[in-house]
Structure 1
Amino acid sequence: MKVGVIGGTGRIGSRLIAHLQAAGHQGTALVRSTGVDVVSGEGLR
């Protein structure tokens, strides 16, 4: 199963991703991009 984890670089999220991967799942950390202007959306795909 593919799972996106918001806050995956934090204490709980990083452990959650490790447990997901150990169980054979694909855990991916979802993080904020510093290259995106949140007001205009410039830099979004």
Structure 2
Amino acid sequence: MSDHQQHAANGLHVYCRLRDLLVPRFLARPLAWCWECLVHPLLYRGRE
């Protein structure tokens, strides 16, 4: 995974992009949290 892809897959980056799309904070925060807990480990498995 390239540095740019890693940056784009970061939970905080996901949160910021959701806010850029005018997703309310009360929805963007749990969505970004779910991303960090569910999707992020799949993308980075085997990297520890």
TM range (shorter): 0.3 to 0.5
Q: Who wins on radius of gyration, i.e. which is larger?
A: 1
Higher strand content, 1 or 2: 1
TM-score (norm 2): 0.35
